[in-house]
Amino acid sequence: MPRYRLTVAYDGTNFHGWQKQCASEGPAQESLRTVQGVLEQAIVDVVRERVSVQGASRTDAGVHAIGQVAAFNCQMEMAPDRLAPAINSRLPDDAQVRSASIIHEGFSPITDAIAKGYRYRIAHGRKGPPPAGLPPLFSRHTTFWTPYRLDPVRMNEAARHLVGEHDFTSFTRKNHGRESPIRTIFDCTVTATGRQRCRLEVCGDGFLHNMVRIIVGTLVEVGRGRIDPDALGDILAAADRTAAGPTLPPQGLCLMWVQYENVAEAARPA
């Protein structure tokens, strides 16, 4: 049975996250609008059989993706260069399949991933007492705004303390449900991208629930001058959620890519 790998992009604004879920329990269950749900339905419409789509990252409501990776099995064989357009023709305009390929039968988007990269976009206020400036209008669904002026240099200095293998208990919600809070961050940088704009880019071997949004929330506090850049080491060592900054809203966050090692594609059908 062929196994297909998809690279999926979506605007998460009007989705209740990646994973399928119901709004209520009982016989009159109502399904919430999720990326997995609309993608599965589009694939079913193409291949005419029930499929189960597995995604690499269970992004939260409002979080976007450019490089989400998904996979599914089905009996039907279709050339990947035909499959992606066929699925896209049945998807809503806030989701799309960027590419499709045939992958080996045992491929798992979750357990085979060796690294993931996220980006968080921020707009911030001018010099002076807040509110200084206006929040972004046309990028409001993809950018977080704070009325406080931020110092990206201080934020970047603080971000370097997060690189390496650490216990990230301070940077995830309580009862996060993972066996271990130990994660490795390969790189974490904050860069000014224009007047009153900056972005965080972080990659690691995996992320706990809300981990990136709490990291950025803590770095915003650094950028405002409320936390010293060198305090990040102490916040990590505390292993206490209350030691870190707030959880920022989802709209600034985007899953950029997922990396795999030694994952060979299967032969494509003619």
Tell me the pLDDT tens digit for each residue of 220-235: 999 999 999 999 999 9
Average pLDDT over every residue of 140-162: 97
Measured CA angle at 195 (ends 192, 199), to 5 deg: 30
Category of 164 on φ-ψ map: left (φ > 0), alpha (ψ -120 to 50) or beta: left
pLDDT band at 266 (very low <50, low <70, confident <90, very high): very low
Domain made up of 114-256: CATH architecture:
2-Layer Sandwich (3.30)
d(CA 159, CA 161): 5
pLDDT band at 267 (very low <50, low <70, confident <90, very high): very low
118 closest CA partner among 260, 263, 261, 252: 252
Backbone angles phi, psi at 257, to 5 degrees: -160, 160
First vs last C-alpha separation in the chain: 16
CB atoms inside a 10 Å sphere around CB 254:
25
Average pLDDT over every residue of 1-12: 96
Give the mean pLDDT of the chain.
93
E strand or H helix at 160: none
pLDDT band at 177 (very low <50, low <70, confident <90, very high): low
Contacts of 223 (CB under 8 A, 6+ apart): 124, 148, 150, 151, 152, 154, 155, 190, 198
Higher pLDDT pick, 162 / 28? 162
Average pLDDT over every residue of 139-159: 97
In the three-class reduction of DSSP (H, G, I as helix; E, B as strand; rest coil), residue 97 is classed as strand
* pLDDT given at position 262: 65
Q: Which residues are catalytic?
A: 60
Residue 270 has pLDDT above 70, yes or no: no
Contacts of 76 (CB under 8 A, 6+ apart): 2, 47, 48, 49
Residue 269 has pLDDT above 50, yes or no: no
Residues of the chain with CATH 3.30.70.580: 3-111
Range of weakest confidence among 24-33, 40-49, 120-129, 207-216: 24-33
* pLDDT given at position 30: 75
* pLDDT given at position 227: 98
pLDDT band at 200 (very low <50, low <70, confident <90, very high): very high
pLDDT band at 176 (very low <50, low <70, confident <90, very high): low
Which segments of 201-257 does DSSP mark as H helices, in order?
211-224, 232-238
pLDDT band at 265 (very low <50, low <70, confident <90, very high): very low
Residue 50 has pLDDT above 60, yes or no: yes
Asked if 67 contacts 9 with a C-beta cutoff of 8 angstroms, the reply is yes
Residue 9 has pLDDT above 70, yes or no: yes
* pLDDT given at position 121: 98
Fold of the CATH domain 3-111: Alpha-Beta Plaits (3.30.70)
Three-state DSSP string of 224-239: HCCCCHHHHHHHHHHC
Residues of the chain with CATH 3.30.70.660: 114-256
Residue 263 has pLDDT above 60, yes or no: no
- pLDDT over 70 percentage in the chain: 93
Distance of CA 165 to the CA centre of its chain: 20
Here the contacts of 47-52 (C-beta below 8 Å, separation 24 or greater) are: 47/74, 47/75, 47/76, 47/78, 48/76, 49/74, 49/75, 49/76
- CB-neighbour burial class of residue 76 (10 A; exposed 0-12, middle 13-18, buried 19+): middle
- Angle (deg, nearest 10), helices 80-88 and 35-47: 120
* pLDDT given at position 22: 78
